[in-house]
Amino acid sequence: MWRQVQGSHDWDGLLQPLHPVVRDEVARYGELVVACYKVVDVDPSSARHMCCKHGKERVLEEAGVAGAGYEVTRYIYATPDVAGPPSASWVGYVAVSTDEMTRRLGRRDVVVSLRGTMTQAEWAANLMSALEPMCRDARPDVKVESGFLNLYASSASKSCRSAGGMGSCRDQLLREVSRLIKSFSEDMPGEDMSVTLAGHSMGSALAMLLGYDLAELGLNRDASGRRVPVTIFSFGGPRVGNAAFKDRCDELGVKVLRVANVRDPVTMLPGAFVNEGTRGFLNAVAGGGDRYTHVGVELALDFLSLRDLGSVHDLGTYVSSIKAETCGKVPDAVASRRGGGVVAKAMEFVESQGAAAFAWQEAALGGLVQSLGLI
Protein backbone atom coordinates (compact mmCIF):
# COMPACT_ATOMS: atom_id res chain seq x y z
CA MET A 1 0.00 0.00 0.00
CA TRP A 2 2.97 2.32 -0.48
CA ARG A 3 1.10 4.68 -2.81
CA GLN A 4 -1.64 5.25 -0.22
CA VAL A 5 0.99 5.79 2.48
CA GLN A 6 2.61 8.39 0.22
CA GLY A 7 -0.73 10.19 -0.11
CA SER A 8 -2.15 9.03 -3.44
CA HIS A 9 -5.65 9.44 -1.96
CA ASP A 10 -4.73 12.20 0.52
CA TRP A 11 -4.56 9.63 3.34
CA ASP A 12 -8.34 9.26 3.27
CA GLY A 13 -9.41 6.78 5.96
CA LEU A 14 -5.83 6.26 7.18
CA LEU A 15 -5.49 8.95 9.87
CA GLN A 16 -8.48 8.53 12.19
CA PRO A 17 -7.80 5.98 13.47
CA LEU A 18 -4.15 6.07 12.48
CA HIS A 19 -3.30 3.11 10.28
CA PRO A 20 -0.34 1.19 11.76
CA VAL A 21 1.57 1.21 8.47
CA VAL A 22 1.17 4.99 8.17
CA ARG A 23 2.20 5.38 11.81
CA ASP A 24 5.37 3.36 11.29
CA GLU A 25 6.29 5.10 8.03
CA VAL A 26 5.75 8.63 9.35
CA ALA A 27 7.81 7.81 12.46
CA ARG A 28 10.53 6.31 10.25
CA TYR A 29 10.83 9.47 8.18
CA GLY A 30 10.79 11.55 11.37
CA GLU A 31 13.77 9.58 12.67
CA LEU A 32 15.66 10.28 9.44
CA VAL A 33 15.22 13.99 10.20
CA VAL A 34 16.18 13.56 13.87
CA ALA A 35 19.47 12.20 12.52
CA CYS A 36 20.27 15.65 11.10
CA TYR A 37 20.38 17.18 14.57
CA LYS A 38 22.62 14.44 15.96
CA VAL A 39 25.49 14.88 13.51
CA VAL A 40 25.82 18.64 12.99
CA ASP A 41 28.89 20.23 14.60
CA VAL A 42 27.62 22.95 16.95
CA ASP A 43 31.00 23.77 18.52
CA PRO A 44 31.72 27.44 17.62
CA SER A 45 35.47 26.83 17.94
CA SER A 46 35.46 23.96 15.47
CA ALA A 47 36.79 24.38 11.94
CA ARG A 48 33.66 22.57 10.81
CA HIS A 49 31.18 24.59 12.84
CA MET A 50 27.64 24.03 11.48
CA CYS A 51 28.85 21.33 9.11
CA CYS A 52 28.28 17.60 9.43
CA LYS A 53 30.81 15.84 11.67
CA HIS A 54 30.91 12.65 9.60
CA GLY A 55 31.36 11.47 6.03
CA LYS A 56 28.41 10.34 3.92
CA GLU A 57 29.34 6.68 4.25
CA ARG A 58 29.09 6.73 8.07
CA VAL A 59 26.65 9.50 8.88
CA LEU A 60 23.50 7.40 9.35
CA GLU A 61 25.40 4.92 11.50
CA GLU A 62 26.81 7.74 13.65
CA ALA A 63 23.31 9.21 13.95
CA GLY A 64 21.98 5.92 15.31
CA VAL A 65 19.95 4.87 12.26
CA ALA A 66 22.42 2.46 10.67
CA GLY A 67 19.63 0.08 9.72
CA ALA A 68 17.53 2.72 7.98
CA GLY A 69 18.15 1.15 4.58
CA TYR A 70 19.39 4.27 2.79
CA GLU A 71 22.68 5.42 1.32
CA VAL A 72 23.46 9.13 1.62
CA THR A 73 24.47 10.57 -1.75
CA ARG A 74 24.84 14.29 -1.03
CA TYR A 75 25.00 16.83 1.77
CA ILE A 76 22.93 20.01 1.47
CA TYR A 77 23.89 23.52 2.61
CA ALA A 78 21.87 26.72 2.94
CA THR A 79 23.19 30.28 3.00
CA PRO A 80 20.86 33.00 4.30
CA ASP A 81 22.26 36.41 3.41
CA VAL A 82 20.14 38.49 5.77
CA ALA A 83 22.40 38.90 8.82
CA GLY A 84 26.07 39.64 8.28
CA PRO A 85 28.35 38.00 5.71
CA PRO A 86 26.71 34.99 4.03
CA SER A 87 27.83 31.72 5.58
CA ALA A 88 26.80 28.21 4.53
CA SER A 89 25.42 25.78 7.10
CA TRP A 90 24.74 22.07 6.70
CA VAL A 91 20.96 21.58 6.72
CA GLY A 92 20.57 17.93 5.74
CA TYR A 93 21.14 15.28 3.16
CA VAL A 94 19.80 13.42 0.13
CA ALA A 95 19.71 9.62 0.26
CA VAL A 96 18.36 6.72 -1.78
CA SER A 97 17.03 3.36 -0.61
CA THR A 98 19.31 0.33 -0.89
CA ASP A 99 18.29 -2.62 -3.06
CA GLU A 100 17.16 -4.53 0.03
CA MET A 101 15.10 -1.60 1.34
CA THR A 102 13.66 -1.02 -2.13
CA ARG A 103 12.35 -4.59 -2.20
CA ARG A 104 10.81 -4.09 1.23
CA LEU A 105 9.20 -0.75 0.34
CA GLY A 106 7.99 -1.81 -3.09
CA ARG A 107 9.75 1.09 -4.82
CA ARG A 108 13.06 2.97 -5.00
CA ASP A 109 12.76 5.84 -2.54
CA VAL A 110 14.73 9.08 -2.90
CA VAL A 111 14.72 10.89 0.46
CA VAL A 112 15.58 14.48 1.35
CA SER A 113 15.96 15.07 5.10
CA LEU A 114 16.17 18.67 6.39
CA ARG A 115 16.64 20.06 9.92
CA GLY A 116 15.12 23.11 11.58
CA THR A 117 16.65 26.43 12.60
CA MET A 118 19.98 26.43 14.45
CA THR A 119 21.79 29.68 13.59
CA GLN A 120 21.13 33.38 14.12
CA ALA A 121 21.16 33.99 10.38
CA GLU A 122 18.50 31.32 9.91
CA TRP A 123 16.46 32.93 12.69
CA ALA A 124 16.70 36.30 10.97
CA ALA A 125 15.49 34.76 7.73
CA ASN A 126 12.60 32.95 9.44
CA LEU A 127 11.22 36.22 10.76
CA MET A 128 11.06 37.82 7.29
CA SER A 129 7.34 37.20 6.90
CA ALA A 130 6.57 39.25 3.76
CA LEU A 131 5.15 37.29 0.83
CA GLU A 132 6.97 37.44 -2.50
CA PRO A 133 6.60 35.57 -5.80
CA MET A 134 8.24 32.16 -5.96
CA CYS A 135 8.85 32.65 -9.70
CA ARG A 136 8.36 36.26 -10.75
CA ASP A 137 8.24 35.58 -14.47
CA ALA A 138 6.30 32.32 -14.68
CA ARG A 139 3.68 32.57 -11.90
CA PRO A 140 3.77 35.91 -10.06
CA ASP A 141 0.57 34.99 -8.20
CA VAL A 142 2.29 32.10 -6.40
CA LYS A 143 3.91 33.70 -3.37
CA VAL A 144 5.97 32.36 -0.46
CA GLU A 145 7.60 33.76 2.66
CA SER A 146 10.60 35.89 1.69
CA GLY A 147 12.78 34.49 4.49
CA PHE A 148 12.26 30.86 3.51
CA LEU A 149 12.88 31.77 -0.11
CA ASN A 150 16.10 33.51 0.91
CA LEU A 151 17.32 30.36 2.68
CA TYR A 152 16.33 28.24 -0.28
CA ALA A 153 17.63 30.33 -3.15
CA SER A 154 20.67 32.26 -1.85
CA SER A 155 24.04 31.03 -3.15
CA ALA A 156 26.35 29.10 -0.86
CA SER A 157 29.72 30.38 0.31
CA LYS A 158 32.91 28.39 0.90
CA SER A 159 32.69 28.41 4.68
CA CYS A 160 32.08 24.64 4.62
CA ARG A 161 34.65 22.77 2.59
CA SER A 162 32.04 20.53 1.01
CA ALA A 163 29.78 23.43 0.04
CA GLY A 164 32.16 25.54 -1.99
CA GLY A 165 31.00 26.37 -5.50
CA MET A 166 27.87 24.23 -5.32
CA GLY A 167 25.31 27.01 -5.63
CA SER A 168 22.20 27.63 -3.59
CA CYS A 169 20.30 25.13 -1.48
CA ARG A 170 17.77 25.05 -4.33
CA ASP A 171 20.43 24.29 -6.94
CA GLN A 172 21.97 21.52 -4.86
CA LEU A 173 18.63 19.83 -4.18
CA LEU A 174 17.20 20.05 -7.69
CA ARG A 175 20.42 18.81 -9.24
CA GLU A 176 20.82 15.81 -6.92
CA VAL A 177 17.19 14.66 -6.80
CA SER A 178 16.78 14.89 -10.58
CA ARG A 179 20.11 13.07 -11.04
CA LEU A 180 19.00 10.17 -8.86
CA ILE A 181 15.64 9.89 -10.61
CA LYS A 182 17.31 9.82 -14.02
CA SER A 183 20.09 7.46 -12.99
CA PHE A 184 17.95 4.80 -11.33
CA SER A 185 15.18 4.94 -13.92
CA GLU A 186 17.77 4.37 -16.65
CA ASP A 187 19.57 1.59 -14.79
CA MET A 188 16.38 -0.07 -13.52
CA PRO A 189 13.71 0.64 -16.17
CA GLY A 190 10.19 -0.08 -14.97
CA GLU A 191 11.11 0.11 -11.30
CA ASP A 192 8.65 2.16 -9.27
CA MET A 193 10.09 5.25 -7.60
CA SER A 194 9.05 7.85 -5.04
CA VAL A 195 10.50 11.14 -3.85
CA THR A 196 9.98 11.76 -0.12
CA LEU A 197 10.84 15.12 1.40
CA ALA A 198 10.95 15.12 5.20
CA GLY A 199 11.66 18.19 7.30
CA HIS A 200 11.20 19.69 10.73
CA SER A 201 10.18 23.32 11.23
CA MET A 202 12.35 25.44 8.89
CA GLY A 203 13.33 22.20 7.15
CA SER A 204 9.71 21.47 6.35
CA ALA A 205 9.41 24.91 4.74
CA LEU A 206 12.44 24.15 2.55
CA ALA A 207 10.89 20.78 1.70
CA MET A 208 7.69 22.54 0.60
CA LEU A 209 9.60 24.85 -1.71
CA LEU A 210 11.53 21.91 -3.15
CA GLY A 211 8.38 19.85 -3.69
CA TYR A 212 6.76 22.71 -5.58
CA ASP A 213 9.89 23.25 -7.68
CA LEU A 214 10.34 19.60 -8.62
CA ALA A 215 6.76 19.32 -9.84
CA GLU A 216 6.52 22.77 -11.47
CA LEU A 217 9.75 22.25 -13.41
CA GLY A 218 8.85 18.67 -14.34
CA LEU A 219 11.98 17.28 -12.70
CA ASN A 220 10.02 14.50 -11.02
CA ARG A 221 9.75 12.49 -14.24
CA ASP A 222 11.82 9.39 -14.88
CA ALA A 223 13.70 8.48 -18.05
CA SER A 224 10.51 7.15 -19.66
CA GLY A 225 8.52 10.28 -18.83
CA ARG A 226 6.50 8.78 -15.99
CA ARG A 227 5.73 11.13 -13.12
CA VAL A 228 7.45 10.12 -9.88
CA PRO A 229 5.16 10.95 -6.91
CA VAL A 230 6.44 13.68 -4.59
CA THR A 231 5.40 13.46 -0.93
CA ILE A 232 6.27 15.81 1.91
CA PHE A 233 6.18 14.77 5.56
CA SER A 234 6.23 18.02 7.53
CA PHE A 235 6.91 17.90 11.27
CA GLY A 236 5.98 21.05 13.18
CA GLY A 237 6.05 23.04 9.96
CA PRO A 238 5.04 26.70 9.55
CA ARG A 239 2.92 28.09 6.75
CA VAL A 240 5.00 28.71 3.65
CA GLY A 241 2.94 30.50 1.01
CA ASN A 242 -0.36 32.01 -0.02
CA ALA A 243 -3.53 30.35 -1.31
CA ALA A 244 -2.20 30.38 -4.88
CA PHE A 245 0.86 28.42 -3.69
CA LYS A 246 -1.42 25.85 -2.04
CA ASP A 247 -3.66 25.60 -5.08
CA ARG A 248 -0.72 25.12 -7.43
CA CYS A 249 0.79 22.40 -5.21
CA ASP A 250 -2.57 20.63 -5.32
CA GLU A 251 -2.75 20.98 -9.11
CA LEU A 252 0.76 19.59 -9.49
CA GLY A 253 -0.05 16.57 -7.33
CA VAL A 254 2.40 17.37 -4.54
CA LYS A 255 1.17 15.50 -1.48
CA VAL A 256 1.76 16.94 1.99
CA LEU A 257 1.10 15.34 5.37
CA ARG A 258 1.50 17.98 8.07
CA VAL A 259 2.25 16.37 11.43
CA ALA A 260 1.32 19.16 13.83
CA ASN A 261 1.06 19.42 17.61
CA VAL A 262 -2.00 21.61 18.20
CA ARG A 263 -0.09 23.34 21.03
CA ASP A 264 2.94 24.16 18.86
CA PRO A 265 2.98 27.91 17.99
CA VAL A 266 5.37 27.35 15.06
CA THR A 267 2.57 25.63 13.14
CA MET A 268 0.59 28.88 13.43
CA LEU A 269 3.27 31.06 11.86
CA PRO A 270 3.52 33.08 9.72
CA GLY A 271 0.03 34.48 9.34
CA ALA A 272 -1.07 33.67 12.88
CA PHE A 273 -4.01 36.07 12.69
CA VAL A 274 -4.71 36.50 8.97
CA ASN A 275 -4.76 33.12 7.29
CA GLU A 276 -6.95 30.53 5.59
CA GLY A 277 -9.23 30.37 8.62
CA THR A 278 -9.57 34.10 9.37
CA ARG A 279 -13.09 35.26 10.10
CA GLY A 280 -14.84 38.33 11.46
CA PHE A 281 -13.08 41.69 11.83
CA LEU A 282 -9.65 40.53 10.70
CA ASN A 283 -11.23 39.01 7.62
CA ALA A 284 -12.38 42.50 6.65
CA VAL A 285 -9.00 44.00 7.51
CA ALA A 286 -7.28 41.55 5.17
CA GLY A 287 -9.34 42.97 2.34
CA GLY A 288 -9.09 39.82 0.26
CA GLY A 289 -5.35 40.20 -0.19
CA ASP A 290 -2.66 37.57 0.14
CA ARG A 291 -3.02 35.32 3.13
CA TYR A 292 -0.75 32.58 4.38
CA THR A 293 -2.38 29.19 3.82
CA HIS A 294 -1.37 25.73 4.99
CA VAL A 295 -0.89 23.06 2.34
CA GLY A 296 -1.94 19.43 2.60
CA VAL A 297 -3.59 17.17 5.16
CA GLU A 298 -3.07 17.54 8.90
CA LEU A 299 -2.19 14.70 11.24
CA ALA A 300 -2.92 16.29 14.61
CA LEU A 301 -1.00 15.53 17.80
CA ASP A 302 -1.61 16.86 21.29
CA PHE A 303 1.26 16.98 23.76
CA LEU A 304 2.50 19.52 26.30
CA SER A 305 4.94 19.51 29.24
CA LEU A 306 4.60 22.42 31.64
CA ARG A 307 8.14 21.71 32.87
CA ASP A 308 9.54 22.19 29.36
CA LEU A 309 7.39 24.45 27.19
CA GLY A 310 9.87 24.20 24.32
CA SER A 311 9.07 20.50 24.02
CA VAL A 312 5.84 21.37 22.18
CA HIS A 313 8.05 21.76 19.10
CA ASP A 314 10.68 19.11 19.81
CA LEU A 315 11.03 16.65 16.93
CA GLY A 316 11.93 13.75 19.20
CA THR A 317 8.70 14.29 21.11
CA TYR A 318 6.80 14.45 17.82
CA VAL A 319 8.18 11.05 16.81
CA SER A 320 7.51 9.55 20.26
CA SER A 321 3.91 10.80 20.14
CA ILE A 322 3.39 9.23 16.72
CA LYS A 323 4.72 5.90 17.97
CA ALA A 324 2.47 6.15 21.03
CA GLU A 325 -0.51 6.70 18.70
CA THR A 326 -1.62 9.97 20.29
CA CYS A 327 -2.61 11.19 16.81
CA GLY A 328 -6.16 12.13 16.01
CA LYS A 329 -7.21 12.27 19.68
CA VAL A 330 -7.29 16.03 20.05
CA PRO A 331 -10.12 17.43 22.19
CA ASP A 332 -12.42 19.71 20.17
CA ALA A 333 -11.88 22.58 22.60
CA VAL A 334 -8.14 22.39 22.10
CA ALA A 335 -8.26 21.98 18.34
CA SER A 336 -10.62 24.93 17.95
CA ARG A 337 -8.12 27.28 19.61
CA ARG A 338 -5.02 25.80 17.87
CA GLY A 339 -2.47 26.10 20.63
CA GLY A 340 -4.23 26.64 23.91
CA GLY A 341 -2.77 28.53 26.86
CA VAL A 342 -0.66 31.60 26.10
CA VAL A 343 -1.11 31.37 22.32
CA ALA A 344 -4.88 31.06 22.58
CA LYS A 345 -5.06 34.11 24.86
CA ALA A 346 -2.96 36.10 22.41
CA MET A 347 -5.28 35.19 19.54
CA GLU A 348 -8.37 36.08 21.55
CA PHE A 349 -6.82 39.43 22.46
CA VAL A 350 -5.94 40.44 18.92
CA GLU A 351 -9.40 39.53 17.68
CA SER A 352 -10.85 41.84 20.31
CA GLN A 353 -8.44 44.71 19.61
CA GLY A 354 -8.64 44.81 15.82
CA ALA A 355 -6.19 46.15 13.25
CA ALA A 356 -4.14 48.34 15.60
CA ALA A 357 -3.01 45.31 17.55
CA PHE A 358 -2.43 43.00 14.59
CA ALA A 359 1.15 43.85 13.59
CA TRP A 360 2.73 43.81 17.03
CA GLN A 361 0.83 40.73 18.16
CA GLU A 362 2.14 38.81 15.16
CA ALA A 363 5.66 39.98 16.05
CA ALA A 364 5.11 39.11 19.70
CA LEU A 365 4.13 35.55 18.83
CA GLY A 366 7.27 35.30 16.71
CA GLY A 367 9.26 36.53 19.70
CA LEU A 368 7.64 33.93 21.93
CA VAL A 369 8.62 31.21 19.49
CA GLN A 370 12.22 32.45 19.38
CA SER A 371 12.49 32.79 23.15
CA LEU A 372 11.40 29.17 23.57
CA GLY A 373 14.11 28.07 21.17
CA LEU A 374 11.64 26.82 18.58
CA ILE A 375 11.87 26.55 14.76
Nearest CA-CA partner of 328 in 266, 256, 262, 237:
262
Beta bridge partners of 193: 108
The whole-angstrom separation of Cα 351 and Cα 324 is 36
Helix ranges, the chain (H): 2-5, 20-39, 59-62, 99-105, 120-126, 146-153, 169-187, 202-216, 243-252, 280-286, 315-323, 332-337, 341-353, 355-371
Nearest CA-CA partner of 156 in 74, 43, 41, 265:
74
Catalytic residue among 89, 159, 178, 201: 201
Nearest CA-CA partner of 106 in 5, 179, 224:
5
The whole-angstrom separation of Cα 79 and Cα 89 is 6
146 is catalytic: no
Catalytic residue among 87, 109, 168, 313: 313
Strands (E), 8-118: 70-78, 89-97, 108-114
Q: Are 211 and 173 in contact (CB under 8 A)?
A: no
Nearest CA-CA partner of 200 in 229, 171, 174, 238:
238
HSE value, Cβ hemisphere, 13 Å, CA-based, for 210: 36
201 is catalytic: yes
Within a 10 A sphere around the Cβ of 297, how many other Cβ atoms? 15
311 is catalytic: no
The whole-angstrom separation of Cα 198 and Cα 11 is 17
CA-based torsion, 348, 351, 356, 361: positive or negative:
positive
Catalytic residue among 264, 290, 302, 314: 264
Within a 10 A sphere around the Cβ of 124, how many other Cβ atoms? 17
Catalytic residues: 201, 264, 313
